[in-house]
């Protein structure tokens, strides 16, 4: 069994699905907070801001998964290195 790199782990379908769910929930809430007036009154919506509002939580969630995988692998390697032979 080959060990996945942290990048492969965070790009796995499970992690990507979780990151997309976080981005949809957080992005929607932030869009409503930041541009709710424009959304409900039919005003101009800044689409660049909307895209960034969804992209940032996606990247933060994916980074969190990558960092956790990296720390987990480092911890496992340390335990393996200090285990008696």
Q: What is the pLDDT of residues 15-73, one digit of tens each?
A: 899 999 999 999 999 999 999 998 899 899 999 999 999 999 999 999 998 888 888 87
Look-up of token digits 């689409």: 47
**pTM attached to this predicted model:** 0.77
Could you tell me which of 34, 58, 57, 59 has the C-alpha nearest to residue 47?
A: 34
Output the pLDDT for position 39.
86
Higher-pLDDT residue of 46, 82: 46
Instruction: Give the torsion sign (CA, 80, 6, 12, 72).
Output: positive
């Amino acid at each position: 069994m080959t060990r996945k790199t942290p990048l492969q782990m965070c790009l796995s379908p499970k992690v990507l699905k979780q990151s997309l769910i976080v981005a949809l929930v957080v992005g929607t809430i932030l869009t409503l907070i930041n541009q709710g007036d424009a959304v409900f009154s039919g005003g101009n919506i800044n689409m660049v801001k909307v895209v960034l509002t969804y992209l940032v939580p996606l990247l933060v969630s994916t980074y969190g998964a990558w960092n956790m995988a990296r720390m987990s692998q480092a911890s496992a390697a340390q335990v393996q290195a200090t285990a008696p032979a």
